[in-house]
Structure 1
């Protein structure tokens, strides 16, 4: 058996008790559980297309979710092996459209954060509300982290003449920035907690939320709501997903902060510092969680099972001269993924042939979304210890 370190097995399973009908000669079948099928084509040598379930309506919600995920995985595998000029042109056009949408989301979100911070700063100073001061501090850090995110996207697209200083690119700029900002935000949250406790024990209470303050926060919430909807549609992209999470948190925090400030002004004074304390604790938890998540990616957490399965499939069907897929690894270096694939070929294969097979597989893998770098190792046997030994110290 070939060894498998952090490797994947392709699991494409039918629902127990459901018969999968083969559709041929262009005919259709609308019975429950029917699947679309084609004979093994040039880019579908394992005939995975026969496993696509075309009609999901008879199934329960849980099973519809299962088959939808499986259909998407199969389609991703088939698309990755379709090398026709039309398919390549379509992929490039789609990438250009998605890239433009993500840039609009990034710059639009940064502009929204600038507007929000300006309105929050005015509102916090004029109202003297601890709850609004807490949300203003969060808006400041959102602005800084958003600027770092836009910068990370910019240096990725336009590396410039000094790219030799960073041979693998600077995609990890975002992760490092998030960890730094999270540390600062946790420290700021502690200061806000201290101020809230001081407000609770103070004998003077002069916070006052006016109609102008409410109008400012309402405008900020409206802008954030629009940007949340736009970024949520692009959540499969890391940059847009981070901004969507940021907008959602801002909507919750600002609505809660404004409510507590109003209650502190018109009901009981101590509601406002309590609101500031709750907001500070929420901010601390949110940013600490984000820092831990980014740290895991920077350390080198394993890629998703679906990506490992897809990479295994690509290596299996890439070239008939590949006898075995020895090892498939994929691990994060920030948001992106590094891939290592070990394949086995006949020991009598000429060097130029094995080189071309390995290089073409590498190029194919590096075209996949989220893959920054791929390394393909070619061997003539798989019954030996792993080539790489992690350092123990």
Structure 2
């Protein structure tokens, strides 16, 4: 591994001036203080490229720099968590006010959907129009989706550590999976029942949209890996966690419902006392679990990194 002790912007003079804090304390950490974000320029008109859906050279370059900007912003967020021990954000009172406002909005939306559904049912009975009946079914599905989301949110807010020791946050993607399956099935039924609906493309769009939703939630339940950019942020946070960390053997994040499970293997000095090593690993676990996307984090401590990866999958 390359020597990273001089990767910061601090000089030897500054370290002599600040021996107890500042540069001397951060000299062992990775940092990007010397990097500056370039100003994003307005894209020129593309004309034919827009019509054909082809990325021009300037678009590829702009996309690359945009990814770099987002990466630096993610590293700054990890620096804040490493220095403060918590993520900056809303206070408890602000979160409670926001939650009450969201609850009120959901209730008002449900009441409006119920009134609209009742009016459409009356209009469907009186007119017998297929268009109005289809609109009535759409309102019924709005009510069904609202009920499923409310039920899953209520279930996640009432934990039961004895029956569900890892929590019930997977209720939300499971509820969406059920509703998306109903929507896809209904779309297929509309295709089979009405040629006019097929010609108008209402049903095909519904099947495609909700089938995509089904696939996305299936991936979240089977343990799909996180994006490389997110793994970069986690690796950055782990390395800057403590100066005693010699190597980072493994950083793994995979979906487990709507959140991530994270596994980290760090290498500490072989002669370090157990108490100190335990505290380093536990503090890193607590930092990782403060990230809103992470449900659980597991930190494995080791004294060398030449062995085979932990929990390696067997190959036939």
TM-score bucket (shorter structure): 0.7 to 0.9
Q: Do the aligned partners of residues 392 and 156 (structure 1) sit closer, same or farther apart at CA in structure 2, a change above 3 Å counting? A: farther
Q: Do the aligned partners of residues 134 and 283 (structure 1) sit closer, same or farther apart at CA in structure 2, a change above 3 Å counting? A: farther
* Residue equivalent to 1:48: 32
Query: What whole-Å deviation, never above 9, does each CA across 1:304-363 have from its counterpart, x for those lacking one?
Result: 222111001011111111111111111111211111111111111111111111111110
Contact 2:198 2:204 in 1 (8 A): no
| Runs (5+) with no aligned partner, structure 1 | 2-21, 23-37, 198-272
Query: 2: distance between equivalents of 1:39 and 1:81?
Result: 14
Instruction: After TM superposition, give the deviation of residue 57 of structure 1 in Å.
Output: 4.0
* Residue equivalent to 2:243: 320
1:377 correspondence with 2:300: yes
Query: 1: distance between equivalents of 2:164 and 2:83?
Result: 32
What is the alpha-carbon root mean square deviation over aligned residues? 3.6
Q: Do the aligned partners of residues 47 and 56 (structure 1) sit closer, same or farther apart at CA in structure 2, a change above 3 Å counting? A: same
Deviates more, 1:301-310 or 1:177-186: 177-186
Instruction: After TM superposition, give the deviation of residue 136 of structure 1 in Å.
Output: 3.0
| Runs (5+) with no aligned partner, structure 2 | 2-8, 10-21, 45-57
1:343 correspondence with 2:258: no
Q: Do the aligned partners of residues 88 and 116 (structure 1) sit closer, same or farther apart at CA in structure 2, a change above 3 Å counting? A: farther
Query: 2: distance between equivalents of 1:43 and 1:152?
Result: 47
Query: What whole-Å deviation, never above 9, does each CA across 1:152-180 have from its counterpart, x for those lacking one?
Result: 23333342xx3321111111112212222
* Residue equivalent to 1:81: 79
Query: 2: distance between equivalents of 1:68 and 1:98?
Result: 34
Contact 1:328 1:339 in 2 (8 A): yes
Instruction: After TM superposition, give the deviation of residue 143 of structure 1 in Å.
Output: 2.4
Query: 1: distance between equivalents of 2:277 and 2:35?
Result: 32
1:156 correspondence with 2:79: no
Q: Do the aligned partners of residues 73 and 158 (structure 1) sit closer, same or farther apart at CA in structure 2, a change above 3 Å counting? A: farther
* Residue equivalent to 2:184: 186
Contact 1:120 1:135 in 2 (8 A): yes
> SS at 1:319's partner residue?
coil
Instruction: After TM superposition, give the deviation of residue 373 of structure 1 in Å.
Output: 0.6
Query: 2: distance between equivalents of 1:350 and 1:369?
Result: 32
Deviates more, 1:294-303 or 1:90-99: 90-99
Contact 1:49 1:74 in 2 (8 A): no
* Residue equivalent to 1:96: 95
* Residue equivalent to 1:363: 286
Query: 2: distance between equivalents of 1:331 and 1:111?
Result: 38
Q: Do the aligned partners of residues 85 and 326 (structure 1) sit closer, same or farther apart at CA in structure 2, a change above 3 Å counting? A: closer
> SS at 1:286's partner residue?
helix
> SS at 2:246's partner residue?
strand
Q: Do the aligned partners of residues 59 and 366 (structure 1) sit closer, same or farther apart at CA in structure 2, a change above 3 Å counting? A: same
Alignment partner for residue 289 of structure 1, among 205, 212, 223?
Answer: 212
* Residue equivalent to 1:301: 224
* Residue equivalent to 1:387: 310
* Residue equivalent to 1:235: none
Query: What whole-Å deviation, never above 9, does each CA across 1:173-206 have from its counterpart, x for those lacking one?
Result: 1221222222223332333233314xxxxxxxxx
Q: Do the aligned partners of residues 121 and 308 (structure 1) sit closer, same or farther apart at CA in structure 2, a change above 3 Å counting? A: farther
Query: What whole-Å deviation, never above 9, does each CA across 1:83-120 have from its counterpart, x for those lacking one?
Result: 59988484252882796366566555545544554444
